[in-house]
Structure 1
Amino acid sequence: MLKQFASHPWVRKLTPSPFTLILLILIVYFWFRPPAWVSDEDRPVANVAITTTDGRVIPLASLRGKVVVVNFWATWCPYCRHEMPGMQAFYRDWHAKGVEILALSIEDDPKLVAQFMQQQAYTFPAGLADAATQQAFGEIKKVPMSFVIDKKGVIRHKISGQVYYGRLENLVTPLLKE
């Protein structure tokens, strides 16, 4: 019966070619795990102050002694939204070990960012990336973009694209041992 069903011409039209299947698999893969390029950096970060959505001011210099992940993002960016749960899990697991995450939105509305963070129950600090902050890290031309800063305040890695838990773990662990 199944063989008879599969021999109908309209069923054969719906059967994808191997090329189409490979293309669909690649699209799904890159949607859920788009490529991110990691470059090694070795430059001190300027001491900018981040104002969080709850009104706290965090000077980057006050975070010396911790490994800091600074993530530039936007609420409208699908890749940014997709990486946030992994960042939250990483923050939950690594914050007590000396890791801080700062999520800096390139948007202009702090209420929008605060509302998004609250709705999603993200607990790491978030704020807006003003011009001075963006300049301190170099031009932020696209999001998501993240920077990993060592305990001494030196930018060690730049991640252009979506981060995920395993990549953060691989980049942060050696810096915690230094």
Structure 2
Amino acid sequence: MPSAEPMPRWLAPALIVLLAMLGGFAGLWAGRVWLGEPPMIAGDDDHLPRELQLNDLSGVAQRLSELRGQPLLINFWATWCSPCIKELPMLQTLHQRRDQGGLPVLLIAQEDDPALVAAFLSEHSISLPSWIDPPSQGDASRQLGNRHGVLPFSLLLDSQGRVIKRRAGAFSESLLLQWAEDAHSAQ
């Protein structure tokens, strides 16, 4: 009776690596399914909280309720967030083209240092209206439905301040354009 050939030494580590990769991909897929689109904030009319107030990068207090009257895309981001940084130029273009089917955009940085945020935006040639939501003082994105604390996190508001859409994760260019169309059709 012939004896069984021994398993090559490289096969066991290769199988372990393959199983780890499969587990990683399964985890990524499950995370996408689990996170999905964040649920809407509970509320009768889904307006933004009237008391939501943050400072702009100069330290001046701003209220979201004062921005009503036109659709608005709010984007929560951070200087350390690669997907956030990648979508900033698309958001800048959308904002610049707001008179030609684009959309006003408000950035809200989840950072403690407004000077760092201002320098970062300047270095990347981003001139969008920007506010700051220091994680050490509170978390406006969670108040607005970002239950998992994912960045980037975006909200689309109609002209009355009602939330039309929420998104956890970065935009593709086509999805961003679709949001602009949705904002204009909701007016």
Q: Report the TM-score, using the length of structure 1 for normalisation.
A: 0.70
Q: Which has the higher contact order (CA 8 A, sep 6+)?
A: 1
Aligned equivalent of 1:62? 66
In the alignment, structure 1 residue 115 sits paired with structure 2 residue 119: yes
Aligned equivalent of 1:79? 83
- Are the counterparts in 2 of residues 68 and 102 from structure 1 also a CA contact under 8 Å? yes
The percent of aligned pairs where both chains have the same amino acid is 24
String of CA shifts for 1:136-157, please: whole Å, max 9, x gaps: 3134612111111111111111
Distance of aligned partners of 1:161 and 1:95 in 2 relative to their CA distance in 1, 3 Å threshold: farther
Q: Secondary structure at the match of 1:44?
A: coil
* Matched pairs, number: 149
Q: Secondary structure at the match of 1:65?
A: coil
Aligned equivalent of 2:171? 163
Larger helix percent:
1
- Which one has a bigger Cα radius of gyration? 2
Q: Report the TM-score, using the length of structure 2 for normalisation.
A: 0.67
Deviation at 1:59, TM superposition (A): 1.5
Uncovered stretches (5+) of structure 1, i.e. residues with no partner: 1-35
Q: Secondary structure at the match of 1:104?
A: strand
Distance of aligned partners of 1:140 and 1:151 in 2 relative to their CA distance in 1, 3 Å threshold: farther
Uncovered stretches (5+) of structure 2, i.e. residues with no partner: 1-34
String of CA shifts for 1:29-70, please: whole Å, max 9, x gaps: xxxxxxx95568472111322321134433111111111111
Moved more, 114-123 or 129-138: 129-138
Larger strand percent:
1
**Large movers: runs of 4+ above 4 Å:** 36-42, 95-98
Deviation at 1:96, TM superposition (A): 6.9
CA RMSD of aligned residues (A): 3.0
